[in-house]
Amino acid sequence: MSIRFEKVDFEYSPNTPFAFKALTDIDLELSKDKMTAIIGATGSGKSTLVQHLNALLLPTGGKVIVDEHTIEAGKKFVKTKDLRHKVGLVFQFSEYQLFEETIIKDVSFGPKNFGISEAEAIEKAKRALKTVGLDESYYERSPLELSGGQKRRVAIAGILAMGPDILVLDEPAAGLDPQGAEQMMTLFRKLNKEKGITVLVVTHNMEHVLKYCDEVVVLDHGKLLMHTDMTTFFENEKYMEEANINPPSIIRFKAMLRQRGLDIPSDILSIEDLARYLSRRKGK
């Protein structure tokens, strides 16, 4: 059981004057049951990479393996529906995918497309809505009259109701206010840790990566720059420099304290832990 990219290339509109190579020679094995962040500058190929996971894009070179499915360049892939049932993909600004008259109808739309009976789909929709924190009073309301953050929750519930093993999110927190964003990320963390869903998040927010993710994949100009666990990534200034990212505040603050002669263990990654650790040292 695995999620693997083997020598994957991808080119948009090949053999035309608009051809554009978005991914080059990607070799990557993603850990199941983990929450992995996919980071990199705009145009580095993050969105292109994740769209391979449910065969929205097919590799123009190499192969993508998701559990029992293998998508190989140049070969016809027929199990698209099975794969999309397994891999739930939430797009950027997903609130724009809502279209049914009521929320419950919209959330049960996905499961029904995968051949699940009406009654069961409604059951799944109800559970998904509960997971994202929307109660019964929302079922019969129109998704269009909700606030931006609530709409996004409905859209995510629409994917969760499909019951995916792998959940892929493309900048799920973009445009939300800070607390809305934190709640969203906490939800994904919970889905990962409690329900064992493999979560992949494309994000620009390093504070989120630090706080919620286990592993980090860095892309740069369509190439894989590194794939490492979160602590290692943030402990190595060189890595962050290479990835051209601005370290999260806590990492910068730790560096400042170290410069002043305080040594701080690498596994301290939150303000609370730092305060606890240093107050204990103060006593000595």
Partner 1 sequence: MNAVEVKNLYYSYDKEKYAVNDVSFTIPYGSYTTIIGHNGSGKSTIAKLLLGLLEKEKGEIKIEGLDLTYENLGEIRNRIGIVFQNPDNQFIGSTVRDDIAFGLENHCFEQAKMDSIIEEYAEKVGMTRFLDSEPTKLSGGQKQRVAIASVLAMGLNILVFDEATSMLDPTGKRDISNLINEIHNDKKLTVVSITHEIEEVAQSDYVIVVDNGKIALTGTPKEIFRHSDELIRMRLDIPFVYKVRNAFNAKGFKLSDTLDMEGMADEICQYVLKK
Partner 2 sequence: MKNVTLGRYIPLDSFFHKLDPRSKICAMFAILIAIFIPAGWIGYAIIGTVIVSCIFIAKLQLDFIIKAMKPMLMMMIFLFVINLLVVKTGDLLFTIGPLTVYTDALTQTAYIAVRLVLMIMLTTLLTATTKPMDMTLGIEDLLAPLEKLKVPTHDIAMMISLALRFIPTLIDEADRILKAQSSRGVDFENGKFGEKITAIVSLIVPMFVSCFQRADDLADAMEARGYVVGAKRVRYKTLKFHGGDYVVLIVSNLILVGMILIWIFVK
Per-position x/- string for 265-284, each x denoting binding to partner 1 as judged by CB under 8 A, each - no binding: ------xx-xxx-xx-xx-x
Q: Quick check: 110 and 124 in contact, CB under 8 A? A: no
Q: How does DSSP assign 245-278, residue by residue?
A: -PPPHHHHHHHHHHHTT----TT--SHHHHHHHH
Nearer Cβ to partner 1, position 65 or 174? 174
**Kind plus residue range of the DSSP H or E element containing 106:** helix 103-113
The tokens for 252 are 């910068």
Site membership for partner 1, residue 16 (CB under 8 A):
no
Q: Quick check: 162 and 82 in contact, CB under 8 A? A: no
Nearer Cβ to partner 2, position 61 or 158? 158
Task: Give Cβ neighbours of residue 197 (< 8 Å, ≥ 6 apart).
Answer: 164, 165, 166, 167, 191
20 contact, one of partner 1, partner 2, none, CB 5-8 Å limit per kind: none
Residue 123 beta carbon to partner 2: minimum distance, rounded to whole angstroms: 17
Nearer Cβ to partner 2, position 96 or 244? 96
Site membership for partner 1, residue 144 (CB under 8 A):
no
Per-position x/- string for 89-128, each x denoting binding to partner 1 as judged by CB under 8 A, each - no binding: ----------------------------------------
Residues in the chain: 284
Measured N-to-C along each axis, helices 249-259 and 271-283 cross at an angle, to the nearest 10 degrees, of: 20
Site membership for partner 1, residue 13 (CB under 8 A):
no
Residue 17 beta carbon to partner 1: minimum distance, rounded to whole angstroms: 15
279 contact, one of partner 2, partner 1, none, CB 5-8 Å limit per kind: partner 1
**Mapping DSSP to helix (H, G, I), strand (E, B) and coil, where does residue 128 land?**
helix
The pair phi, psi for residue 39, each rounded to 5°, is -125, 170
- Distance, CA of 247 to CA of 230 (rounded, Å): 12
The pair phi, psi for residue 49, each rounded to 5°, is -60, -50
- Distance, CA of 258 to CA of 193 (rounded, Å): 33
Tell me how many residues contact partner 1 (CB under 8 A): 36
- Distance, CA of 15 to CA of 20 (rounded, Å): 10
Residue 68 beta carbon to partner 1: minimum distance, rounded to whole angstroms: 36
Site membership for partner 1, residue 177 (CB under 8 A):
yes
Nearer Cβ to partner 1, position 197 or 230? 230
Tell me how many residues contact partner 2 (CB under 8 A): 27
Question: Given the rule CB under 8 A, which residues bind partner 2?
Answer: 13, 16, 18, 51, 54, 56, 81, 84-85, 88-92, 94, 96-99, 109-110, 113-114, 144, 158-159, 162
Question: Given the rule CB under 8 A, which residues bind partner 1?
Answer: 41-42, 147-149, 174-180, 204, 206, 245-246, 249-250, 252-253, 256-257, 259-262, 271-272, 274-276, 278-279, 281-282, 284
